[in-house]
Amino acid sequence: EAQVTQNPRYLITVTGKKLTVTCSQNMNHEYMSWYRQDPGLGLRQIYYSMNVEVTDKGDVPEGYKVSRKEKRNFPLILESPSPNQTSLYFCASTLSANTGELFFGEGSRLTVL
């Protein structure tokens, strides 16, 4: 089944404790992206990757890192999480940046205390 898989789905952590949210897609998509969703703000792009070893900042990259060592994986790293990073995070992918339809993971709800 074609899908984007995120883990963990739910996480409660404390300020400063490094964490990684994994994202994997099995559709051989070149383009992958991370979004955060906050009430009243919609979805905002954090980072995106056009292909392996190619990543770029989105609209709200501060406090986040990403890597794209393999085509299927695009982990989101919070080196020192802060409470303002409490949010619902979505990974998404598509065949290439201009092909349109994004496929989304089920989301990772992160709470930073």
Partner 1 sequence: SQQGEEDPQALSIQEGENATMNCSYKTSINNLQWYRQNSGRGLVHLILIRSNEREKHSGRLRVTLDTSKKSSSLLITASRAADTASYFCATDAGANNLFFGTGTRLTVIP
Q: What are phi and psi of 85, to 5 degrees?
A: -100, 5
Stretch that binds partner 1, among 18-26, 62-70, 71-79, 95-103 (CB under 8 A): 95-103
Q: Which of 53, 58, 60 is nearest to 74 (CA)?
A: 53
CB of 88 to partner 1, least distance (A): 7
Asked if 74 interacts with partner 1 (CB under 8 A), we say no
Answer yes or no whether residue 35 interacts with partner 1 by CB under 8 A: yes
Task: From 8, 35, 53, select the one nearest 93 (Cα to Cα).
Answer: 35
- Least Å distance, CB 31 to partner 1, is 8
